[in-house]
Structure 1
Amino acid sequence: MVPTGITPFQTKLTSPLTKKEINVLQINLGKRCNLACNHCHVEASPKRTEELSLATCLELIELIYKFPEIKIVDLTGGAPEMNFGFKPLVEAAKGAGKEVIIRTNLTIYFVEGFGDLPEFFAQNQIRIVASLPCYLADNVDKMRGNGVFDDSIKALQWLNQVGYGKNPNLILDLVYNPQLPNSENFSLTPEQTNLELAYKMFLREHFDIVFNNLFTITNLPIGRTKLHLERKQLYSSYVQFLELQFNPDTVENLMCLNQLSVDYLGNIYDCDFNQMMNLPAKDHRGNNLKIRKLLDAGSLDIINQVQTADYCYGCTAGCGSSCGGALV
């Protein structure tokens, strides 16, 4: 339901969002995670047990090999590394010649049984997109838990040691998320290029850490962010703020246009945010999609219109926001 006073997102557009050729397959392997960050739109935690099944994993591997137009396999979670099927999917995607992205929380490397990950990533030339929502310890620990900043720094130093951020084949990107608002003094993410420079200067000077790119991502009003906003009675006013910042120039670069998002049950969505809000992608007849339907159709191009909701204003506010950072 659209909050009171909010323009339905689809009426803001000059025309409906239609899919382009699909070249990104983003897979959410499950909700199991060693952290429980207060802004997590997945609502992942160590207590969650939902994860990929063997049957769904095998269907995903079939999908990866069947469609050469998929150029990027983007693995997320939870902590994707903790969920069933992680390494088989990496190996399948690399075997099929795809670029593999892993969205990591960094601290997982210090959990028993996961200490081989930095070397595994390097051996497979996986692109790392690592969450570091600020370069200041207090801000990170407030969002993600006590001690997370220190572990994240140690993990980044470890990744540098195995060549990430230095070897051109070992790309290390960081992700900035703003603090959750506690009043109606809302703001968008800082300008990405300047913030990236600030991150690089601070991390190099204080910790001798180097990385490639910084992505700024807006906190969308879903998951734990939505729960926080509702507790503070800020949900409607935050969505109104995002609507006021709507930038039509971002629309043609939205990640939902060329991406499929798959959950641990094999359901298909236009993006990870729709996945978390249980807003499935639809075929031309309005039917929900699963992996098997794509395989049986022999095509990824059976979705016409992208499903939208009020939280889409988060992706189109200001310079825009996506899993790859700003859009304009």
Structure 2
Amino acid sequence: MVEMNRKLTINYRSQKKSTAQIMIQTSITPFARKLKTPLTKSQIKVLQINLGKRCNLACTHCHVEASPKRTEELSPVICSQLIQVIERFPEIQIVDLTGGAPEMNYGFKPIVEAARQHGKQVIVRSNLTIYFEPGFEDLPEYCTRHQTRIVASLPCYMATNVDKMRGQGVFDASIAAIQTLNRLGYGKEPELILDLVYNPQLPVSDRFSLTPDQHKLEKDYKIFLQEHFGITFNNLFTITNLPVGRTLLHLQRKKLYASYLEFLESNFNPNTVEHLMCRDELSVDYLGNIYDCDFNQMMNLPAKTRAGETLTVAKILAAGTLGVIDEIQTAPYCYGCTAGSGSSCGGALTESRE
């Protein structure tokens, strides 16, 4: 284990307005019109829960705008309701925990344990550096004991690029954390899955590019990390930077927002649509409100019933069914999930178009 610099260099500035409050006019084709037919829900299989905005990092690309300064997190009441949803609906196969650093926020362990007791796969979206924060040193062993699937951010296999996006010293701490997980069997034992996530650097000019081919980049990651650090892992997920949260703020500062959206639309791939994560997912915020996906959550675009009503976890419990949403709410940033090979919380949606 390494001693992590407790005062990480963070590229973050407080914003008076959240990105969800920013109204932006664009000239691109409305996403719903591009599809020509409504984007509809299939059976819900994934319950993704954002436990709160508390985090020990403040990454430059974070669409949640999480940081050590944020205090919003799940309440005991909403935690109890979410556990009831996990218990009552057997069609939920995956409970996907995110944040902030999900491990820092209230309800993390109770939800993990309830989900595992009911046979659900639990995904923990970890920044890895949390393992070195006081009070969280037991997390690797805890996750091993409960066989949680760990999806960990490592936006590059080069230290300079990672530290630029996530803070000074984050790369070294991430490597040490992965080595700890490997020693516990992650990336080696079939029930202990460790996936890494690639995010491209934020653009600084209008020379945009799509994420690299996922399979090829995964090979590069595995070769480099094994040769230099003795690290093994299961899968690499390539995720497009959607113009949401700090990425949106960055694009606005660089006057690149409109041109970036135009680039994403120009690379629209209709073959990605049937695989979009919003099709079989419910996204829940720390207040218990329900959205079609995590990006809609961050932009305050709530899911709606057939009658046009917004949803909460309490309403789902009262209805006794998860099948209350027909049409998925869409926005211009949906082009980020459908450009090129597509993008989701599980990486690319189709084979590379190269």
Aligned mate of 1:105, from 107, 114, 127: 127
- Which residue does the alignment assign to 1:201? 223
User: 1:2·1:8 contact (CA, 8 Å) conserved in 2?
Assistant: no
- Which residue does the alignment assign to 2:70? 48
- Which residue does the alignment assign to 2:17? none
Deviations 1:188-236 (A, max 9, x none): 1000000000000000000000000000000000100000000000000
Deviations 1:160-192 (A, max 9, x none): 000000111100000000000000000010000
Distance in 2 between the 1:3 and 1:130 partners?
A: 34
Letter of the 1:262 counterpart: V
Distance in 2 between the 1:302 and 1:115 partners?
A: 41
- Which residue does the alignment assign to 2:187? 165
Identity of aligned residues (%): 71
Aligned mate of 2:113, from 82, 91, 102: 91
Deviations 1:70-99 (A, max 9, x none): 000000000000000000000000111100
Letter of the 1:99 counterpart: Q
State the shift of 1:52 in Å: 0.1
SS in 1 for 2:160: helix
Q: Gaps (5+ residues) in structure 1?
A: none
2:259 paired with 1:250: no
- Which residue does the alignment assign to 1:57? 79
2:27 paired with 1:23: no
Distance in 2 between the 1:158 and 1:24 partners?
A: 28
Deviations 1:287-315 (A, max 9, x none): 00000111111100000100000000000
SS in 2 for 1:174: strand
Equivalent residue pairs, number: 328
* TM-score w.r.t. length of structure 1: 0.99
Letter of the 1:150 counterpart: D
State the shift of 1:2 in Å: 6.1
Letter of the 1:182 counterpart: V
Over 6 Å off, 4+ runs: none
Aligned mate of 1:241, from 233, 242, 263: 263
Distance in 1 between the 2:130 and 2:204 partners?
A: 29
Letter of the 1:180 counterpart: L
User: 1:39·1:180 contact (CA, 8 Å) conserved in 2?
Assistant: yes
2:336 paired with 1:297: no
Distance in 2 between the 1:189 and 1:115 partners?
A: 34
- Which residue does the alignment assign to 1:155? 177
State the shift of 1:3 in Å: 3.5
2:338 paired with 1:316: yes
2:148 paired with 1:126: yes
Aligned mate of 2:92, from 60, 65, 70: 70
Letter of the 2:346 counterpart: G
* TM-score w.r.t. length of structure 2: 0.92
- Which residue does the alignment assign to 2:12? none
2:243 paired with 1:221: yes
Distance in 1 between the 2:46 and 2:191 partners?
A: 19
- Which residue does the alignment assign to 2:196? 174
Distance in 2 between the 1:4 and 1:234 partners?
A: 12
2:183 paired with 1:183: no
Letter of the 2:293 counterpart: C
State the shift of 1:270 in Å: 0.3
SS in 2 for 1:142: helix
RMSD of aligned C-alpha atoms? 0.6
Letter of the 1:295 counterpart: L
